[in-house]
Amino acid sequence: MSVLSSCNDLDRPGEVAHVGNGELPVVVIRPQQGWPLPDLREVWEYHQLLYFLIWRDVKVRYKQTVIGIAWAILQPVMTTIVFTVFLGRLAAAPSTGVAYPLFVFTGMLPWGFFAAAVGSAGQSVVGNERLIAKVFFPRIIIPLAAVGAALFDLMVASTVLLAMMAYYGVVPTLGIVFVPLIVAILLVLAVGVGSLLAALNVAYRDFRYVVPFFLQLWMFATPAIYTQTSSLTGGVLGAILPLNPAQGLIRNFRSAVLGGPIDVYSLAVSSAVAVTAAFVGMFYYKRTERRFSDII
Amino acid sequence: MQPSIRVENLSKRYRLGTRGGYRTLRESVSEAVAAPFRRLAGRASAEPIERESREWIWAIKDVSFEASPGDVVGVIGRNGSGKSTLLKILSRVTEPTEGSVRLCGRVGSLLEVGTGFHQELTGRENIFLSGTIVGMSRKEIARKLDEIVEFSEIGAFLDTPVKRYSSGMYVRLAFAVSAHLETEILIVDEVLAVGDVAFQKKCLAHLQRASQSGRIILLVSHNMSSLQALCNRAVLLAGGRVHAAGEFRDVMATYYRSLLVPAQGASDSTFDAPRAEGMSPIFRSATIVDDQGRTTNFVPLCGIFRLQMTLDLPALDGSGIINVGIDDLLGQRMITIRSPLESPELLENAGKVELECRVDELPLAPGDYWIKVSVRDRTGWLDAVEQAVYFTVGDGEVFDEGRRFLSGRLVVRSRWEQLSRSVEGVI
């Protein structure tokens, strides 16, 4: 929506002026055409705002609750217990020889992060209506902050994973080094899908109802609480499944934590899909963000 | 390098209907399906172009002005004249449809008191959050924390969630944060009207100090007196276009004149206009006359004021009362003059009645005023005419005593005498 340039150097759009030696930054506001690129430099200039919005989301979420931050732990733990009882005991879902609770938890932990991140990012722009209508800042910060707050919860809940691994005597193998990478790609995917949904939600409030439903379907399409047998992971189906980016990421997250083999093919395909989704989402967001304050 | 603002041919168009609302997916889909058919139909007639122009509205159109260091620019105009849209574009909250703005210097905008405040967070937490949102760095806020807390007068409540604050404390804290934003360009929308009178004074003084340090301040407010205290320049918007721009005093005079135009032109029909629910047209005319009985719109300072009214009086229930209210141009009531209760014969007979209300020395300061007339009996109000007469009180000597009018809103007679005298050199 605007072009930054330095005071004495007006006709070079795209140039960012640096404040210092008495030079004032110059902003030229004019209508924007076409598909603008997300301006990462501008986002970096506002990194303190990103930090404070994440901090606010985390802080506010657990204000006036009795157990506070423990909710971040309790949620994946409760889901794990439910699935362990109903699927592990009653339905006897086959797992991979790992203790079923640990198996479920290693799926629910990354999925829970992803679902929470996408869900809250999808609502974030509409939820921060007043900020959007009253102050300028790079708009992408809003869904980024929502994903950041979910990442914080993931880190808190990870302590439970460590405790469970210790309890079941699982010794991490070298594969554990993949964990940060997989989480990072999951984060990129969440930002992409979340910002796309957030932008759509501004124009079409229908997405408020679509998102939870869509996440539930996605969860069942992803091996978060079940495993895919070798008949599924081989052949044509095995080649197609990682096109669901959550499939390759969550499957390999589990392997990386529990010391199973990393499936390079599914990890690579899912990562590529995730990065593509991030680009699509962020471009759509950038394209529509200038209309946010008019139509929100 | 000095801060500056240059606005050139700035225009912003809104689509009627989408403004303030939002579309559902179904509407978009049906619109997309209907569009090709519309285009086909459009070839046959000019109808879509007309339709187009009806669906869009220019909130501001071809707005241009400049501001240089130290300028405090008041953006004035009636509701819906485009003031807020202009500030929103300058704050980069919304994008212009045409034209450009060049801002030299960091821009801080306060379009709202307490932007980003969260009810659940404490005062201290909100200072940091809101400060960051309006564009301060964490270091800057930490440095100014004491100053902000002192300015806001919240003292011991710093670590209490703001949802437990009184509304006064809340707005004081909110304003305090915004006021400490030290950018070269400051954009302020109607945030002066917060807190009690003492706090408002403090805010005004704060902004005044800010402008003296060479910054540019752009203000929107409906409070003309605070604008007058702050601004040296003004931009008057009317219907989204710049109606006047320049020295604040000149623009304000233009603004006041523009307020009168529709009412003055309609002055004859004022009394024929349909009345509100439960009222009937009783007042037929009202005019001010001078001491010779000639119709006028001018009253000399401290001069005689004669208002003559014609009424079509119905039979009244009990004795009637007439109120003559005098308002200044900002709608503030200066005085209400009521007909005496102990003279029922004034409105005794039904039918056409002519009355005069006379004030020998009108105690109003020089300026422009509106008169509102109303009549009632025991059953309630029977008729009321707003902006019935417009008149000007001239500038001049106070009671012909050789003293000119200085300031304030009223003139009174005064007597001065010496009560005692001290010996020279001793107090």
What ipTM score was computed for the predicted complex, to two decimals? 0.81
More confident position, B207 or A178: A178
Are residues A154 and A15 both part of a single domain? no
pLDDT in tens, B34-52: 665 655 554 444 444 444 5
Are residues A115 and A19 both part of a single domain? no
Whole-number mean pLDDT of chain B?
82
Are residues B229 and B298 both part of a single domain? no
Measured in angstroms, the CA of B220 and the nearest CA of chain A are apart by 14
The residue range of the domain holding A12 is 1-31
CA distance B326 to B310: 18
pLDDT in tens, B245-298: 999 888 887 887 676 554 443 345 578 777 877 888 899 889 898 888 888 888
Residue B25 belongs to some domain of the structure: no
CA of B106: which chain A residue's CA is closest? A25
CATH number of the domain that B386 lies in?
2.70.50.60
| Number of folded domains that form chain A | 2
CA distance B353 to B310: 6
- Contact (CB, 8 A) for A16 and A41: yes
Residue B424 belongs to some domain of the structure: no
Mean pLDDT to the nearest integer, B72-101: 89
Which B-chain residues 20-59 have CB contacts (< 8 A) with chain A? 21-26, 28
Among A8, A25, A135, beta carbon nearest to B134: A135
In this predicted structure, the answer to whether residue B19 has a pLDDT above a threshold of 60 is no
Domain termination site, one of B239, B259, B279: B259
CA distances from B55 to A290, B15, B140 (A): 20, 6, 46
Are residues A183 and A268 both part of a single domain? yes
In this structure, what token pair is assigned to residue B372?
Answer: 């509102």
The residue range of the domain holding B162 is 4-20+44-259
pLDDT in tens, A176-199: 899 999 999 999 999 999 999 999
CB contact under 8 A, A24 and B184: yes
Measured in angstroms, the CA of B100 and the nearest CA of chain A are apart by 5
In this structure, what token pair is assigned to residue B231?
Answer: 């601004």
Give pLDDT < 70 ranges for chain A: 1-22, 88-97, 228-234
Residue B420 belongs to some domain of the structure: no
CB < 8 Å to A214, chain B: none
Are residues B244 and B99 both part of a single domain? yes
Are residues B136 and B187 both part of a single domain? yes
CB contact under 8 A, B24 and A204: yes
| Number of folded domains that form chain B | 2
Query: Highest mean pLDDT: which of A271-285, B16-30, B78-92?
Result: A271-285
Are residues A24 and A39 both part of a single domain? no
Secondary structure (3-state) at B173: helix
More confident position, A201 or B400: A201
Where helices occur in chain A by DSSP H, the ranges are: 40-45, 47-61, 70-83, 100-127, 129-134, 141-167, 178-203, 207-220, 230-233, 235-240, 245-258, 264-288, 292-295
CA of B18: which chain A residue's CA is closest? A295
CB contact under 8 A, A48 and B137: yes
Are residues A268 and A150 both part of a single domain? yes
- Contact (CB, 8 A) for B2 and B68: yes
CA distances from A113 to A102, A110, A143, A163, A164 (A): 17, 5, 14, 18, 18
More confident position, A235 or B334: B334
Q: State residue B387 phi and psi, 5-degree precision.
A: 45, 50
CATH number of the domain that B177 lies in?
3.40.50.300
Are residues B230 and B312 both part of a single domain? no
pLDDT the model gives residue A4: 42
Measured in angstroms, the CA of B101 and the nearest CA of chain A are apart by 5
Are residues A40 and A19 both part of a single domain? no
pLDDT the model gives residue B35: 61
pLDDT in tens, B144-201: 999 999 988 888 899 999 989 988 888 888 888 888 888 889 888 876 666 677 777 7
CB < 8 Å to A134, chain B: 91, 93, 111-112, 115
pLDDT the model gives residue B413: 84
CA distance A126 to A114: 20
User: Using alpha carbons only, what angle is made at residue B201 by residues B200 and B207, rounded to the nearest 5 degrees?
Assistant: 90
Residue B32 belongs to some domain of the structure: no
pLDDT band at B375 (very low <50, low <70, confident <90, very high): very high
Residue B34 belongs to some domain of the structure: no
Are residues B313 and B248 both part of a single domain? no
Mean pLDDT to the nearest integer, B71-88: 88
Are residues B86 and B188 both part of a single domain? yes
- Contact (CB, 8 A) for B62 and B11: yes
Are residues B166 and B287 both part of a single domain? no
CB < 8 Å to B106, chain A: 19, 24-25
Residue B427 belongs to some domain of the structure: no
Q: State residue A91 phi and psi, 5-degree precision.
A: -85, -10
Q: Where are the beta strands (DSSP E) in B107-150?
A: 107-110
CA distance A53 to A141: 8
Measured in angstroms, the CA of A283 and the nearest CA of chain B are apart by 18
Are residues B88 and B124 both part of a single domain? yes
Mean pLDDT to the nearest integer, B384-393: 86
Are residues A133 and A14 both part of a single domain? no
SS3 annotation, A154-183? HHHHHHHHHHHHHHCCCCCCHHHHHHHHHH
What is the radius of gyration, based on Cα positions, of chain A? Answer: 21
Query: Highest mean pLDDT: which of A83-92, A231-240, B58-67, B107-116?
Result: B58-67
In this structure, what token pair is assigned to residue B104?
Answer: 């030299």
pLDDT the model gives residue A18: 40
Sign for the pseudo-dihedral over CA of B287, B291, B296, B298? negative
pLDDT the model gives residue A37: 74
Q: Is B85 on the interface with A (CB under 8 A)?
A: no
How many contacts, defined by CB atoms under 8 Å, are there between A and B? 131
Mean pLDDT to the nearest integer, B138-142: 92
pLDDT the model gives residue B124: 93
CA distance B35 to B41: 10
More confident position, B64 or A21: B64
pLDDT the model gives residue A121: 95
Q: Is B368 on the interface with A (CB under 8 A)?
A: no
CB contact under 8 A, B92 and A29: yes
Are residues A251 and A192 both part of a single domain? yes
pLDDT the model gives residue A6: 41
CA A214 distance to own-chain centroid: 15
Which B-chain residues 106-135 have CB contacts (< 8 A) with chain A? 106-107, 109, 111-112, 115-116, 118, 120-121, 125, 128-129, 132-135
Q: How many CA atoms lie within 13 A of A88 on its CB side?
A: 18
pLDDT the model gives residue B32: 64
Q: Is B137 on the interface with A (CB under 8 A)?
A: yes
CA distance A270 to A281: 16
